[in-house]
Structure 1
């Protein structure tokens, strides 16, 4: 496709990456069962929380993966996390898009 095709592919890839960062990641966390109302019964999140509690003698440690994911599920991503994820996934998408359209 040449230079123009690579540039268009990079723009499309970056857009897809940004969409994944801003929409896809929070949706995925909710689908796993980390919600604003707490951890959903019978979900992957519930299984993770159970395993974490068993491993820690009955409680979920602050700062653990389960705790962080529940925080995101309840309050959403912080501005810093959104910026970081958007930068990383947009860059990866741009590189992939450019490579695919060469």
Structure 2
């Protein structure tokens, strides 16, 4: 790989990390996990209903629904932001590497 390829992969990884951290709160709100609670008629309502049925009528603490609602209501903390950035960076870097490999074929 050339030096330019590494720079492109690094740039895509950085863009993926930053983009994921910026977009995540909007995605949470878009599916219904908001600051005021779960939005009526949203996808989050169906998730909460399914989780409650599976747990005998209540949503378990620490479940996916509980964690997403906490993030939607209180914001994504430092650990969550770090995890999102790591995943976004890995996806961005992986996509750039795959694209370079695919387009580099003759």
Q: Would the TM-score normalized by the shorter structure come out above 0.5?
A: yes
Shift in Å, 1:3: 1.5
| TM-score, structure 2 as length reference | 0.81
Which 5+ residue runs of structure 2 have no aligned equivalent? none
- Check conservation: 1:52, 1:59, Cα contact below 8 A: yes
Shift in Å, 1:52: 1.3
Shift in Å, 1:94: 1.8
User: How many pairs were matched up?
Assistant: 101
**Superposed CA RMSD:** 1.8
Shift in Å, 1:55: 1.9
Partner of 1:62, secondary structure, is: coil
Aligned to 1:13: 12
Single out whichever of 28-37 and 16-25 deviates more from structure 2.
16-25
| TM-score, structure 1 as length reference | 0.83
- Distance in 2 (alpha carbons) for counterparts of 1:100 and 1:51: 38
Q: How does 1:70-89 map to 2 (within 5 A)?
A: 70-89=69-88
Aligned to 1:90: 89
- Check conservation: 1:17, 1:93, Cα contact below 8 A: yes
Aligned to 2:30: 31
